[in-house]
């Protein structure tokens, strides 16, 4: 198996001139402009509402590839992918199709099916997680959720965008077209999310800054950013290949950084990686497997944050900011599986130096 790490973004430093995306959102049937449509770059805080004439203007980091989505409650969402250079510009003309058949509206408490409250709690645990951040995350629009279950698996869909408010990290997240399925051992979801920073006092902002930095450290995104930058060891990570039997071979010394191509050479043919973050301990209620330090590891405590990565045949497509472009092509277990939707940070979040 060939390990693929595809860099999909040019380096866009803090001093890089942003690119500009402008355009209009119209009704595909009538050609009339759509006011107050949400136009945004998914998984980021970058977004605006279209004006009365349907026009919009977005300033985006100078990534090589940017996906822009336009959504309206009465229309089917549209998306466009554009390639931008620093200081570049693109003009988009969104033509959104009206929804021909509207699904069921949100329901009140008296109309909910029996067992709905229990399923909502189940969904919270599976989707948001059970971390400290999850405990301080509220589902603001639970009435849009519809549940079904079969043989221990919960399925959730929405009739309108699902809104969550994360008081721990200071974000309001809007989940468009969310579809979720999961059980105690496996979860998967599809849809798009956009983040809106909460407004707060200077004291609240300082607390959110600390919480965001703490959440980033040791995360899946932190690891990917370090991998792309050739700073695996410098950022506190170790990576071991795992054989077909699920064991770390005795000869399998950890990957500890260096140029990307050289660093991945020992991992060729390995579809499962074991990743350790040595600078923080995993909570006691997180299953990290055996706590005996691995051969060749710098770990001495045995309670490091330990995760497993199962790669798909396409490998990983990763931007230089650590964002996965094919998220359905890998599976996470261990510590990274414990961190879920309530621990997500926007793709345009920049950790402190």
Q: Are 61 and 133 within one domain?
A: no
Q: Are 282 and 246 within one domain?
A: yes
Looking at residue 315, its pLDDT comes to 60
Q: Are 224 and 305 within one domain?
A: yes
Q: Are 163 and 257 within one domain?
A: no
Looking at residue 270, its pLDDT comes to 57
Q: Tell how strand 55-60 and strand 19-27 pair up.
A: antiparallel
Q: Are 223 and 282 within one domain?
A: yes
Q: Shortest CA distance to 55 belongs to which of 20, 29, 83, 88?
A: 20
Q: Do the domain assignments include residue 209?
A: no
Number of domains in the chain: 3
Q: Are 69 and 28 within one domain?
A: yes
Q: Do the domain assignments include residue 62?
A: yes
Which of 69, 96, 123 is the last residue before a domain boundary?
96
Q: Are 46 and 87 within one domain?
A: yes
Looking at residue 179, its pLDDT comes to 95
Q: Shortest CA distance to 307 belongs to which of 237, 260, 257?
A: 237
Give the global pTM.
0.83
Looking at residue 211, its pLDDT comes to 98
Which of 170, 201, 232 is the last residue before a domain boundary?
201
pLDDT tens column, 26-37: 999 999 999 999
Q: Do the domain assignments include residue 170?
A: yes
* CA pair distance 85, 11, nearest whole angstrom: 10
Which of 36, 65, 96 is the last residue before a domain boundary?
96
Report the CATH number that the domain containing residue 84 is assigned in CATH. 2.60.40.1120
Q: Are 166 and 63 within one domain?
A: no
Looking at residue 73, its pLDDT comes to 87
Looking at residue 285, its pLDDT comes to 73
Looking at residue 184, its pLDDT comes to 87
Q: Do the domain assignments include residue 352?
A: no
Q: Which domain holds residue 49?
A: 9-96
Q: Are 222 and 308 within one domain?
A: yes
Please identify every stretch of the chain with a pLDDT value under 70, giving residue numbers as ranges.
Answer: 1-16, 62-64, 101-112, 243-270, 288-302, 312-329
Q: Are 90 and 19 within one domain?
A: yes
Q: Do the domain assignments include residue 315?
A: yes
Q: Are 232 and 317 within one domain?
A: yes
Q: Do the domain assignments include residue 353?
A: no
Q: Do the domain assignments include residue 351?
A: no
Looking at residue 347, its pLDDT comes to 86
Q: Are 63 and 113 within one domain?
A: no
Q: Do the domain assignments include residue 42?
A: yes
């Amino acid at each position: 198996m060939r390990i693929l790490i595809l860099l999909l973004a040019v380096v866009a430093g803090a001093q890089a001139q942003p690119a500009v995306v402008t355009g209009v959102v119209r009704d595909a049937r009538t050609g009339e402009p759509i006011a107050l449509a949400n136009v945004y770059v998914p998984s980021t805080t970058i977004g605006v509402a279209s004006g009365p004439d349907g026009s919009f203007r977005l300033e985006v980091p100078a990534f090589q590839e940017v996906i822009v989505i336009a959504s309206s409650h009465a229309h089917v969402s549209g998306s466009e992918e554009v390639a931008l250079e620093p200081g570049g510009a693109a003009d988009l003309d969104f033509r959104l199709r009206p929804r021909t058949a509207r699904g069921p509206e949100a329901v009140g408490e008296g109309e909910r099916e029996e067992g709905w409250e229990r399923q909502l709690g189940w969904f919270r645990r599976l989707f948001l997680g059970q971390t400290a951040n999850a405990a301080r995350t509220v589902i603001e629009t639970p009435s849009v959720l519809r549940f079904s279950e079969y043989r221990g698996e919960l399925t959730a869909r929405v009739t309108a965008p699902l809104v969550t408010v994360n008081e721990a990290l200071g974000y309001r997240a809007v989940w468009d077209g969310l579809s979720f399925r999961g059980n105690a051992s496996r979860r998967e979801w599809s849809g798009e999310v956009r983040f809106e920073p909460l407004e707060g006092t200077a004291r609240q902002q300082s607390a959110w800054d600390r919480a965001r930095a703490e959440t980033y450290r040791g995360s899946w995104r932190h690891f990917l950013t370090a991998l792309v930058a050739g700073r695996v060891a410098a950022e506190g990570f170790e990576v071991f290949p795992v054989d077909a039997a699920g064991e770390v071979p005795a000869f399998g010394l950890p990957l500890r950084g260096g140029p990307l191509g050289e660093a991945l050479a020992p991992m060729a043919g390995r579809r499962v990686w074991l990743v350790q973050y040595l600078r923080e301990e995993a909570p006691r209620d997180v299953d990290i497997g055996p706590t005996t330090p691995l051969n060749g590891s710098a770990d001495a405590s045995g309670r490091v944050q330990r995760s497993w990565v199962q790669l798909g045949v396409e490998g990983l497509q990763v931007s230089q900011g650590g964002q996965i472009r094919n998220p359905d092509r890998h599976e996470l277990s261990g510590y990274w599986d414990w961190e879920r939707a309530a621990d997500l940070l926007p793709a345009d979040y920049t950790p402190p130096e």
